[in-house]
């Protein structure tokens, strides 16, 4: 999802850049509203992602997407130089019930996975990072 925002420069500011916001149709420079005026047709992701953002260290969000919550990988990337890189992480909302793996995706198309180590039926903790193994098994 994020690569589309980068390649097409949908916010029309003349530079290739990223967003660390899922946002909604009132949040400009977000994946939901890359360019004002905000209309559904310009969104790079659909509205089902709006409630899937987890602000804390655990996969707790108001509306899961396929039983997962997402967050920007600011623990690795930082949130100040989004022109350099980006990363998004996904973790199961209920370990071993709705999912067993955590995922991390980065601007260079690297995708990493790790098995969740949390107790069954607890929120995941976004364990995958750039040093995790690939998702080949």
Tell me the C-alpha distance between 21 and 84, whole Å: 16
CB of 70 closer than 8 Å to CB of 32: no
Lowest mean pLDDT among 16-25, 65-74, 124-133: 16-25
Q: What is the rounded (10 degree) CA torsion for 32, 69, 109, 13? A: 20
Question: How many angstroms separate the Cα of 129 from the Cα of each of 7, 59, 75, 106, 110?
Answer: 23, 15, 9, 9, 10
pLDDT tens, 31-61? 888 888 989 988 888 898 899 999 888 999 9
Q: What is the pLDDT of residue 137?
A: 59
Confidence grade of residue 124 (pLDDT, cut at 50, 70, 90) = very high
Helix segments in the chain, DSSP class H: 2-8, 74-77
Q: What is the pLDDT of residue 88?
A: 86
Q: Where are the beta strands (DSSP E) in 1-137?
A: 68-72, 87-92, 101-106, 111-115
Q: What is the pLDDT of residue 2?
A: 47
Percentage with pLDDT > 90 across the chain: 35
β-bridge pairing 68-72 and 111-115: unpaired
CB of 38 closer than 8 Å to CB of 31: no
Confidence grade of residue 6 (pLDDT, cut at 50, 70, 90) = very low
Q: What is the pLDDT of residue 23?
A: 87
pTM summary value: 0.77
Q: Which of 11, 3, 4 is nearest to 107 (CA)?
A: 3
Q: What is the pLDDT of residue 13?
A: 74
């Amino acid at each position: 999802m994020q690569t589309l925002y980068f390649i097409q420069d949908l916010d029309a500011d003349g530079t290739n850049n990223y967003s660390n916001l899922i946002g909604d149709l009132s949040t400009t420079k977000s994946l939901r509203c890359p360019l004002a005026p905000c209309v559904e047709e310009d969104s790079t992701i659909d509205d089902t992602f709006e409630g899937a953002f987890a602000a804390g260290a655990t996969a707790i969000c108001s509306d899961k997407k396929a039983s997962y919550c997402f967050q920007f990988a600011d623990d690795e990337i930082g949130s100040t130089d989004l022109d350099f890189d980006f990363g998004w992480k996904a973790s199961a909302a209920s370990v071993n019930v709705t999912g067993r793996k955590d995922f991390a995706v980065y601007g260079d198309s690297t995708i990493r996975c790790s098995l969740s180590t949390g107790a069954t039926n607890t929120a995941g903790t976004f364990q995958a990072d750039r040093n995790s193994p690939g998702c080949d098994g």
